């Protein structure tokens, strides 16, 4: 062997399989968090494979270097925590842990192992930590294909390790398996708790306060704040059939903007009763069926162009211009109502044309709003002539100049002015308010509307509305009708920002619906059919039990093939002799004949009995076993210490 080759073999390398694993982990973190430490770690890892230089863990250079590196990473994380466009704090923490582990991975590759053992366990541990950090961030796009890759590499590395240094493969495999199981269980637990955090907090609330807390997600008292409907609940509010795929389901509108709030509050509105005929329940057109599942059950949601609303058997009330339309408090109604859709020819409830007084209210810009907003509004609109052109100019401006964020960070002064002038990122309430005020500045009567943006498909031709679909938008009175003004980027759901539903969530909902149906069906059953059904189920169970009782499991060879039974008297004598042996502390092993056992254990006194027993047991059939009994009796009568001559 030449010296170069032997030199290469003595390089303190990581096992070849550990490298791809580490790279996959670093790449996984890099796609969500492109931090400089990750490529640096990768380069250092590769470099360590070609160098024989290794540092001592205790060396000052290593110590200081490590602290400086960690401090740098910590400072960077601190900066991002406090910066404007911050991700959620848990994601930042996960990034930080991942970066620390990546740095340590590179450092470990350059350290001298005091025992000269394998570096693989450390590499596996740190790579797994990096990977876990990557999968803990909220960007799941790459995880589905990076995960199998990582676990493939991990498996290869562990296999490599098993062939290494004569380590016991079984111990390692079982250790690795339990490690994977523990990781899986931990991840599953985390995922479960995280996915159902709303439900869990609701259980907690119910437990503490003894009442159900429904989070409809609608802010019926809009107050521009830091967060809107933060990580909205997944509770289903509505289920709608036959609605267009992107429907704005309105609940109510607001006319007056005052110090960051929209007024009048619902409680102060003058409600008047509505005759069902006013809502034109028999109008012609496509009927959309809406089922109320949760939230404020008295509120009636309808799209802008609802030609009619059919709520059987309900007495309703509304505030005619602004809404809401709702079932009179305290009344029970069927949870299902129909909305008649008739193209765009008719406008539904809450769409009354404003009279002069209302028109003035829909054009009022409160004095607290910065004067520069009027200038900005005119700039935005430019030379647009018609109201419709002005509306699209404002929509386009807001969508293209502001970013969406669930966490708004309002500055000082009027919130909408601050939002517009400082080009901040914020949520839909800000966009809607800004659109209303900008349009009012250029003379388009506008108001602020809240409701749900129904967009999630929920089965055939149906939409599901969850608490997190709550939305706010603007409405403008244009050419004799109200139109929806959507100024929020992506309707508040920019790509990649919407979380996918937790695993199995839809199935759970389906199951709940099925159970509900079953319960209703059972409630309608009369006694006789119920008895029949229960009887049938009981019979089925009885049959199943009988069947399983009859087909017992296949016996093993030893169970199936028992020795032919010996004579009962002989068997009892045999048992007595075995008892005699056991009393002397010399039980006979199952694979040894008694005669041989007596020889080995020096029990010569027992030999006459054994010979007689064997003749009676295996010899040609005889009736006389009196002699045998006598011999056994003599044996049993001997004092214990005399048995061994």
Partner 1 sequence: MSEFATTIENLAVNLQTVIRGKDESIRLLLISMLAGGHTLLEDVPGTGKTTLAKSLARSIDGTFRRVQFTPDLLPADITGSSYYRPQDGTFEFRPGPVFTNVLLADEINRTSPRTQSALLEVMSENQVTNEGLLRPLPQPFFVIATQNPIEFHGTYPLPEAQLDRFTMRIALGYPDALHEVEVIFSQNAQHPFEELKPVVSCERILQLQREVRAVHCERAIVEYIVRIVEHTRRDTRLKLGISPRGSLALHRTAQARATMLGRDFVLPEDVQVLAAPVLAHRLALDTKAKYAGARNETIIEEALEKVEVPR
> Residue 3 or 556: which CB sits closer to partner 1?
556
Q: Are 387 and 478 in contact (CB under 8 A)?
A: yes
Q: Tokens 């959620």, residue?
A: 88
| Residue 500 φ/ψ, nearest 5 degrees | -75, 160
> Residue 210 or 621: which CB sits closer to partner 1?
621
Q: How far is the CB of 167 from partner 1 (least distance, A)?
A: 20
Q: How far is the CB of 587 from partner 1 (least distance, A)?
A: 12
Q: Residue-wise over 31-61: b if at least 16 C-beta within 10 A, else e?
A: ebbebebbeebbebbeebeeeeeeeeeeeee
Q: How far is the CB of 625 from partner 1 (least distance, A)?
A: 15
Q: How far is the CB of 561 from partner 1 (least distance, A)?
A: 7
Nearest CA to 295 out of 238, 338, 246 is that of: 238
Tokens found for residue 380:
């935005």
Q: Could you tell me the end-to-end alpha-carbon distance of the chain, in angstroms, rounded to an integer?
A: 71
Bridge partners of 172, per DSSP, are: none
Q: Are 604 and 598 in contact (CB under 8 A)?
A: yes
Q: Tokens 């010399």, residue?
A: 586
Dihedral sign computed on CA atoms, order 340, 343, 347, 350: positive
What span, in angstroms and rounded, lies between the C-alpha atoms of 536 and 525? 15
> Residue 620 or 645: which CB sits closer to partner 1?
620
According to the 3-state scheme, what is the secondary structure of 317-352? EECCCCCCEEECCCCCCCCEEEEEEECECCCCCCCC
Q: How far is the CB of 574 from partner 1 (least distance, A)?
A: 5
Q: How far is the CB of 185 from partner 1 (least distance, A)?
A: 34
Tokens found for residue 507:
């199935």
E strand or H helix at 287: strand 286-292
Q: How far is the CB of 165 from partner 1 (least distance, A)?
A: 22
Tokens found for residue 379:
């700039």
> Residue 95 or 594: which CB sits closer to partner 1?
594
Q: How far is the CB of 593 from partner 1 (least distance, A)?
A: 5
What span, in angstroms and rounded, lies between the C-alpha atoms of 434 and 398? 8
Q: How far is the CB of 613 from partner 1 (least distance, A)?
A: 8
Nearest CA to 351 out of 284, 306, 394, 294 is that of: 306
Q: Are 450 and 251 in contact (CB under 8 A)?
A: yes
Q: How far is the CB of 614 from partner 1 (least distance, A)?
A: 6
SS3 294: coil
DSSP characters over 155-211: HHHHHHHHTSTT--HHHHHHHHHHHHHHHHHHHHHHHHHHHTHHHHHHHHHHHHHSS
Q: How far is the CB of 596 from partner 1 (least distance, A)?
A: 7
User: Exposed, middle or buried: residue 151 (CB in 10 Å: 0-12, 13-18, 19+)?
Assistant: middle
All residues at 6 or more sequence positions from 319 whose CB lies less than 8 Å from its CB, including other chains: 252, 269, 270, 271, 272
Q: Are 227 and 464 in contact (CB under 8 A)?
A: no
Q: How far is the CB of 630 from partner 1 (least distance, A)?
A: 20
SS3 251: strand
> Residue 210 or 591: which CB sits closer to partner 1?
591
> Residue 90 or 614: which CB sits closer to partner 1?
614
Bridge partners of 253, per DSSP, are: 449
> Residue 480 or 591: which CB sits closer to partner 1?
591
Q: How far is the CB of 569 from partner 1 (least distance, A)?
A: 14
Q: Tokens 């709030």, residue?
A: 261
Q: Are 441 and 187 in contact (CB under 8 A)?
A: no
What span, in angstroms and rounded, lies between the C-alpha atoms of 525 and 530? 6
> Residue 265 or 596: which CB sits closer to partner 1?
596
Provide the residue count of the chain.
645
Q: How far is the CB of 179 from partner 1 (least distance, A)?
A: 30
> Residue 50 or 563: which CB sits closer to partner 1?
563
What does the binding site for partner 1 look like in residue numbers (CB under 8 A)? Answer: 557-558, 561, 563-564, 566, 574, 578, 589-596, 614-615, 617-620
What span, in angstroms and rounded, lies between the C-alpha atoms of 370 and 380? 16
Q: Are 73 and 103 in contact (CB under 8 A)?
A: yes
Q: Tokens 């791809």, residue?
A: 20
Tokens found for residue 427:
């949520």
Q: How far is the CB of 160 from partner 1 (least distance, A)?
A: 23
């Amino acid at each position: 062997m030449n010296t170069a080759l032997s030199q290469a073999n003595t390089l303190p390398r990581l096992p070849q399989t550990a490298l791809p694993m580490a790279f996959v982990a670093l790449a996984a973190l890099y796609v969500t968090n492109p931090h400089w430490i990750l490529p640096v770690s990768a380069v250092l890892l590769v470099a360590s494979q070609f160098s024989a230089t290794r540092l001592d863990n205790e060396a000052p250079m290593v110590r200081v270097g490590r602290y400086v590196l960690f401090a740098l990473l910590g400072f960077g994380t601190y900066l991002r925590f406090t910066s404007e466009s911050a991700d959620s704090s848990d994601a930042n923490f996960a990034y930080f842990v991942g970066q620390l582990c990546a740095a340590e991975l590179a450092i470990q590759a350059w350290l001298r192992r005091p025992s000269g053992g394998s570096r693989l366990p450390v590499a596996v541990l740190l790579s797994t930590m990096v990977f876990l950090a990557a999968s803990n961030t909220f960007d799941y796009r790459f995880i589905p294909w990076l995960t199998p890759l990582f676990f493939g590499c991990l498996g290869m590395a562990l296999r490599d390790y098993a062939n290494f240094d004569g380590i016991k493969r079984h111990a390692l495999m079982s250790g690795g398996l339990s490690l994977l199981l523990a990781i899986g269980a931990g991840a599953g637990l985390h995922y479960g708790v995280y996915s159902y955090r709303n439900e869990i907090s609701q259980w907690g609330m119910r437990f503490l306060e003894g009442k159900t807390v429904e989070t409809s997600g609608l802010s019926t008292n809009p107050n521009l704040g830091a967060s809107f409907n933060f990580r909205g609940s997944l509770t289903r509010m509505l289920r709608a059939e036959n609605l267009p795929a992107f429907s704005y389901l309105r609940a109510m509108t607001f006319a007056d903007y005052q110090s960051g709030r929209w007024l009048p509050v619902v409680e102060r509105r003058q409600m008047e009763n509505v005759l069902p005929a006013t809502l034109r329940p028999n109008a012609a057109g496509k009927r959309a069926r809406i089922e109320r599942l949760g939230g404020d059950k008295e509120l009636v949601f309808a799209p802008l162009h609802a030609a009619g609303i059919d709520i059987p058997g309900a007495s309703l009330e509304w505030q005619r211009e602004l809404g809401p339309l709702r079932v009179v408090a305290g009344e029970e109604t069927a949870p299902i109502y129909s909305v008649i859709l008739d193209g765009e020819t008719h406008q539904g409830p809450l769409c009354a044309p404003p009279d002069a007084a209302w028109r003035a209210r829909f054009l009022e810009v409160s004095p607290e709003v910065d004067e520069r907003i009027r200038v900005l509004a005119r700039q935005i609109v430019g030379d647009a002539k018609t109201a419709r052109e002005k509306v699209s100019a404002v929509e386009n401006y807001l969508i293209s100049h502001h970013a969406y964020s669930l966490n708004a960070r309002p500055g000082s002064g009027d919130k909408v002015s601050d939002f517009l002038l400082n080009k901040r990122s914020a949520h839909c309430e800000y966009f809607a308010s800004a659109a209303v005020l900008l349009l009012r500045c250029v003379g388009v009567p506008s108001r602020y509307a809240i409701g749900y943006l129904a967009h999630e498909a929920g089965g055939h031709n149906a939409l599901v509305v969850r608490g997190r679909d709550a939305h706010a938008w603007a409405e403008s009175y244009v050419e004799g009708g109200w139109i929806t003004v959507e100024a929020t980027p992506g309707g508040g759901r920019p790509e990649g920002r919407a979380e996918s539903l937790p695993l199995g969530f839809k199935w759970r909902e389906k199951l709940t619906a099925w159970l509900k149906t079953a319960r209703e069906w059972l409630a309608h059953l009369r006694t006789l059919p119920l008895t029949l059904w229960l009887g049938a189920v009981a019979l089925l169970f009885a049959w199943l039990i009988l069947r399983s009782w009859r087909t017992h499991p296949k016996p093993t060879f030893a169970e199936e093939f028992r020795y032919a039974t010996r004579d009962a008297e002989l068997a009892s004598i045999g048992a007595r002799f075995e008892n005699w042996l056991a009393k002397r502390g010399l039980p006979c092993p199952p694979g040894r004949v008694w005669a041989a056992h007596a020889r080995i254990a020096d029990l010569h006194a027992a030999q006459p009995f054994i010979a007689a027993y064997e003749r009676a047991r295996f010899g040609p059939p005889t009736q006389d076993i009196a002699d045998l009994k006598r011999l056994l009796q003599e044996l049993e009568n001997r004092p214990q210490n005399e048995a061994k001559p």
